[in-house]
Amino acid sequence: MKKSAATILREYGPFPNADRVNGVTFDGRHVWFASGDRLNALDPDSGEVVRSIEVASHAGTAFDGEFLYQIAEDVIHKIDPKTGQILSTIPAPGNGGDSGLAWAEGTLWVGQHRGRRIHQIDPETGKILRTIESNRVVTGVTWVDGQLWHGTWEGDDSDVRRIDPETGEVLERLEMPEGTGVSGLESDGADRFFCGGGGSGKLRAISRPQGK
């Protein structure tokens, strides 16, 4: 397992009317983050929130190329980012103990916080397809280039780690500075991760290590 300190590229926020960051996703242009009662679209270049959708947003956020998925209480809403309409709702696999959401390969991946595992579910029905065990609380999940990454955060310790999607084995860890937690994780598809900062109300861009 490779272990290194995370390199923080940029810090955004805290933002007005958004005390927390509960989940993060990226639609290719904007970073969407969940702040409790709305989803906010941030321009990562300017650092400005350019629009927001009023919807309950208590944990992870994901984007499938067209629609947003947002965990609220114990369900996952599918949301049209253009209109802000909730299109459909499925149960969340952790019954509300869910934290972290990612879209990949036609399915949703949901972190189960204290359950210390990640579920792959059917985005239409919410049916659990398979479950990967982790040994840390899961606070954010993302897929990039066939790699499964998730955030952890326990007390003062937090990291972003790559795990083997088959076995759950930890392959690589990026340790966050003490007191800097990860709540919500998304890659930009290239060399950056966006990390939610929980109650700090901040959003951070960290660099993704290149090469296998």
Nearer to other proteins, 56 or 86 (CB): 56
Kind plus residue range of the DSSP H or E element containing 147: strand 147-154
- Site for other proteins, residues 78 to 137, rule: CB under 8 A: 92, 94-99, 112-114, 137
Give the integer Cα–Cα distance in Å for 103 and 105. Answer: 7
Picking from 152, 173, 154, 147, the residue whose alpha carbon sits closest to that of residue 4 is 173
Encode burial over 102-125: b for 16+ CB neighbours within 10 A, e otherwise: bbbeebbbbbbbebebbbbbebee
Shortest reach from residue 48's CB to other proteins, in Å: 25
Picking from 212, 170, 206, 184, the residue whose alpha carbon sits closest to that of residue 110 is 184
Contacting residue, 56, 86, 104, 171, with other proteins by CB under 8 A = 56
Nearer to other proteins, 133 or 157 (CB): 157
Shortest reach from residue 189's CB to other proteins, in Å: 25
Count, residues near other proteins per rule CB under 8 A: 36
Tokens of residue 112, six digits: 């189960």
Name the site residues for other proteins (rule: CB under 8 A).
20, 22, 36-37, 56, 58-60, 71-74, 92, 94-99, 112-114, 137, 139, 153-158, 179, 181, 183, 198-200
